[in-house]
Amino acid sequence: MAFKVLVVDDSPAMRKMIRRVMDMSGIELGEYLEAGNGQEALDLLRSHWVDLVLTDINMPVMNGEQLLREIGNDVLLESIPVMVISTDRTEARLERMMALGARDYVTKPFVPETLGRAMERLLLGEGHADHRP
C-alpha cells in the first residue's frame, strides 16, 4: 500500500532531507506533497487526501500550532495523523502540541532512523511513542 504524505516546513532543505529519510525507510510513497507553511498545508489538505502530515512549528504565515488547531477543528481533516518535527524541545510545547492532536513529536536534529521508525508507527498503526526531550 502506497502512502500519501504531506511535509510542512519553511525550509526547502529540511523538506528534501525528510523526503530522503522516507525513501531510505522503505515506506512505499504514493504521493509526497510539500508546503512551506500551515496555510499552504491547509490548502493542499482540502484538495488532496493524505495519510500523514509531518509539520514544523515555527513557520511564517501560519505556524504548526495554528495548523494543528485548524486540522482539529475540521471534521474532514481531524482523523489525519500529524507528527511534529521541531527544534523546540520544551516540555510545555510538547504537551501543548500533543493536546492539540499531534500523534508524535520528533525533535531536530534527528537521526534518520528515529524519524523513519516514528513514521512507520503512525502509518502502520502501531500507536505513538513519547519522544520527550
Grid cell 509526497 in the structure block, residue: 32
β partners of residue 3 = 29
pLDDT of residue 125: 73
Residue 120 banded pLDDT, cuts 50, 70, 90: confident
pLDDT number for residue 12: 97
pTM, entire model: 0.89
pLDDT of 126 reads 56
Domain ranges of the chain: 3-123
Q: Omega before 109 cis (within 30°)?
A: yes
Of the candidate CATH numbers 3.40.1030.10, 3.40.50.1100, 3.40.50.460, 3.40.50.2300, the domain formed by 3-123 belongs to 3.40.50.2300
pLDDT at position 131: 40
| DSSP summary character for residue 109 | S
